[in-house]
Amino acid sequence: MKLSKRLESMQFSPIRKLNQYADEARNKGIKVIGLNIGQPDIETPSVFFEAIRNFDAKVLAYTDSKGIPPLLDSFLKYYNNLGYNLDKDNILITNGGSEALLFTMISICDEGDEIIIPEPFYTNYNSFSDLASIKIVPFNTYAENGFRLPDKEVIKGKITSKTKAILISNPGNPTGVVYTKEELKMLIDLALEHDLYIISDEVYREFVYDNLLFTSALEFSEVKDRVIIIDSISKRYSACGARIGCMVSQNKDLIKTALKLGQSRLCSPTIEQIAAASLINTPKEYFDEVKKEYETRRNILFDCLKGVPGIICEKPTGAFYLIVKLPIKDSDHFAKWLLSEFSIDNKTVMIAPASGFYSTKGLGEDEVRLSYCVNQDDLKIAADILIKGLLKYKEIYK
């Protein structure tokens, strides 16, 4: 039987596609340390589980497609605490940041429209744009300079009559880059000059290191109707499985239009919305500790890798990822090889080949994305396995 062309051309997730090899390694008794996925190992705040335990309705009913009022209130409180004055018509609760991205793309683009994205980018931007029949128009950013944005003219050169938006992940997955206010201003100016939206995926907003200040796209009042924020509790509160996020915009027409999509999928999960609403009561110390932990891990991983001959990476300042350029030709093959043929003391490491984070064919084939969502001891072991594995691999595949 024939399947759709739409999905035939869609890629499998580069983060998950090596699972089969990882399972085979585990079946052989090898411990696989996963640096492939951004699944935080940090505990979800206990208020979340308390709220679930306290759920005692007799019927698990649908909720309002916009999201339940206590959850909308808690997001509003969160945003108001950050100094952004929003109201309920500025927010639509979604099934994670993922659905917020899909809703956003479908709400602002027609078939064949274009969205400009710095590459490498979060791999599912590819999948969502495929689903929405949107063309991604990438521009390059480079490991050698820490994936900073290029000059305005480079981005301007990508704009056509079909361009609807510029999409960024800030702090960046997979790069760990945190854009400066000046870089954001340049994008905002382009949006104003060329009648575009800015989609700012800020799901890693809390994870910014080295005492850097984070600038949200919401700060630019001159373009408030043009800015769409993608948000989620997945990373902020280590609650990926809850599938709760939201799209946020001062453009109320946009939120109202996206609600049509919300209504078509009826609602976000009821119990998880209730539990997510309680997360606003998470003590501030939780974030201080979590941030300190990720910053330490970032330092451990970066210090292990820096100076290794042939490895190129700049110290990332946000999120919990690092893109590393390696002296190899095919990081897919290297990642599989690590799982199938290399181990030290019965341990190996799983990494994400970076080509899936690019839409330009051929790019990223000598790069991998590493996440630091494992404890410090495992992280040191994983870095050691990666470096020694690389040496061995280069001996075999000269």
Ligand X SMILES: Cc1ncc(COP(=O)(O)O)c(C=O)c1O
Contact residues toward ligand X (CB under 6 A) are 38, 96-98, 122, 169, 173, 201, 203, 232, 234, 240, 245
Tell me the CB-side half-sphere exposure of residue 372, using CA atoms within 13 A: 34
> What is the bridge-based pairing of β-strands 367-371 and 321-325?
antiparallel
CA-angle at 274, arms to 269 and 275, nearest 5°: 100
The CA–CA distances, whole Å, from 200 to 148, 225, 275, 280 equal 16, 13, 26, 22
* Six-digit token string for 305: 């890798």
Q: Which is nearer to ligand X, 66 or 236 (CB)?
A: 236
To ligand X, the closest distance from the beta carbon of 309 in angstroms equals 31
Q: Which is nearer to ligand X, 15 or 386 (CB)?
A: 15
Q: Which is nearer to ligand X, 105 or 385 (CB)?
A: 105
- Helix axes of 376-396 and 284-305: crossing angle, nearest 10 degrees: 30
Which of 215, 145, 222, 141 minimizes the C-alpha distance to 184?
Answer: 215
* Six-digit token string for 384: 């050691």
To ligand X, the closest distance from the beta carbon of 7 in angstroms equals 19
CA pair distance 362, 69, nearest whole angstrom: 47
The CA–CA distances, whole Å, from 128 to 92, 103, 272 equal 18, 9, 23
To ligand X, the closest distance from the beta carbon of 187 in angstroms equals 16
**Residues 237 and 137 sit within 8 Å (Cβ to Cβ):** no
Q: Which is nearer to ligand X, 122 or 197 (CB)?
A: 122
Q: Which is nearer to ligand X, 63 or 169 (CB)?
A: 169
Q: Which is nearer to ligand X, 125 or 393 (CB)?
A: 125
CA pair distance 375, 383, nearest whole angstrom: 12
Q: Which is nearer to ligand X, 13 or 340 (CB)?
A: 13
Q: What are the residues whose beta carbons fall under 8 Å from the beta carbon of 192, sequence distance 6 or more?
A: 222, 223, 226
User: Given the structure tokens 């008794």, which residue do they identify?
Assistant: 29
344 DSSP 8-state letter? B
Report whether the peptide linkage leading into residue 174 is cis, meaning its omega lies within 30 degrees of zero: yes
To ligand X, the closest distance from the beta carbon of 350 in angstroms equals 16
Q: Which is nearer to ligand X, 25 or 92 (CB)?
A: 92
CA pair distance 218, 272, nearest whole angstrom: 27
